[in-house]
Amino acid sequence: MRKHGLFEVNMLEGSLSKNILLFALPLMATNILQFIYSAADMIVLGKFSGTHALAAVGATGSTYNIIINVFIGLATGVAVVVAQQIGADDRKGLSDTVHTAGTVSVIIGIFVCILGLFLSPIILKAVGTPADIFDDAVLYLRVMFAGIPALVVYNFGASILRSVGDSRRPFYYLAFSGALNVVLNLFFVLGFDMSVDGVALATIISQYASAVLVWVHLMRTGECYYFHIKEARIVKKQLWDIIRIGVPTGLQSALFSLSNLLIQSAINSFGTNYIAASTTANNIENICYTTMAAMGQAVLVFCGQNVGAGNIKRLKNIYLESLAVTLGVGVIISGVCMLFDRSLLGLFTNDAAVVEIGLKRLAVIVPFYFICGFYECGSGACRGTGYALFPMIGALFGICFFRVIWLYTAFSWSPTFETLVSVYPVSWAITFVILSVMFAVFYHLLGKRQAQN
């Protein structure tokens, strides 16, 4: 069995709750730093450029997320494949996967960047972006698409590191780039009197910095998961394994974002203040979401390594103990956000009307974010077993279809802002139940297959 380095958590042995938390904490910190990318944009814009600039960035959020979630899904495919190969101590397969992932990330990042530059105005027009913020929204989205190659490359590289048990280095690299983003935001907006273009430029420069740091480490490491640029290649088997797991995951995330895009369209109908308020509140919610998503990422890697090592019986305990840890973390982080809700919203805007609308949204969503964490754990556990298609179908129903149904039933009957945003916690609960049932089935199938072998 491979020795674990200083930064790596042993997922095959030892206390599960302790190791899950130790692995998840740097993930939470990393995700929060990623949140700081957008939060820094919002704070600078809200304070120095006004509500219209804030709304312009907010109007692009759902559109941009559809694109990036596809590639985060593919990165999840990389994570599962690498984790299973680490568990099985398959060094040749691991090398093929790392070099395939590095090569593919560059190719698809450049392709989507070019595509996004041309399609940005068409997409924003299709979702009903108000005319008074349309030009700024297009400008912001186009600059952000220029950073897509870095975003894809970073996520693929970070997935490799996390899957070998190292969740700390991605945190350190993002800590540096996050600080750089904040400094550059102030530099461009205050120093050069830029607006949405300035904060977007600061973000993509920071993204390229984090991408370079991750892959420089992978090229210099002496471990079995090193990347050598002269050996860059695409191995069909590894590519297929990444696609088999990553595409359903990415498609699921994209469809989630599509359902959110429909909700964003409904929010747009309330006017600019509601768009700005949702954008602002969403930044607070992201503090909760990023911690919950970290738990799902941790469960995915733990399950992946143990499936590769043949420790099938350990999967049940991984899932149950991760839910207990998630409940504790979720209650704490939601409580903090609700306690300081008005102060946190005040960081992003000076507009009292926007703050009041934001408080309404937070009151409906934030107390229930532990349910989102349960859903993330269920999703991560299912994907970690190697079954990606069926969880996608289950989540597709629980999140996407249900949210569309909600828009045409509950929201149609009671067309209020509170009714609209209530769809989030309800859809999380439904999806958690579906994924838990699926995990129980996959656990049984894996145990049966192991017994037969």
For residue 7, what pLDDT band results from cuts at 50, 70 and 90? very low
Map tokens 């989540």 to a residue: 395
What average pLDDT does this structure show over 216-230?
A: 81
Instruction: Report pLDDT digits (tens) over 296-310.
Output: 888 888 888 888 777
What is the model's pLDDT at position 6? Answer: 39
What is the model's pLDDT at position 332? Answer: 92
**pTM surpassing 0.75?**
no
Distances (CA, A) of 299 to 113, 261, 293, 309: 31, 28, 10, 15
Instruction: Report pLDDT digits (tens) over 60-97.
Output: 666 676 677 677 777 777 877 887 787 777 888 888 88
Instruction: Report pLDDT digits (tens) over 368-419.
Output: 999 999 988 998 888 888 777 777 788 788 887 888 889 889 888 988 888 9
Contact present, 192 and 198 (Cβ < 8 Å):
yes
Instruction: Report pLDDT digits (tens) over 156-167.
Output: 888 888 887 777
For the chain, the residue count is 453
Instruction: Report pLDDT digits (tens) over 335-361.
Output: 998 998 888 888 777 788 888 888 999
Give the whole-angstrom CA distance, residue 434 versus residue 374.
11
Give the whole-angstrom CA distance, residue 387 versus residue 382.
6
Beta strands in 133-247 (DSSP E): none
DSSP track, 297-335: HHHHHHHHHHHHHT-THHHHHHHHHHHHHHHHHHHHHHH
- Least-confidence region, from 56-60, 116-120, 125-129, 367-371: 56-60
Give the whole-angstrom CA distance, residue 172 versus residue 182.
16
Exposed / middle / buried, residue 214 (Cβ in 10 Å: 0-12, 13-18, 19+): buried
Contacts of 410 (CB under 8 A, 6+ apart): 419, 422, 423
- Least-confidence region, from 29-33, 41-45, 333-337: 41-45
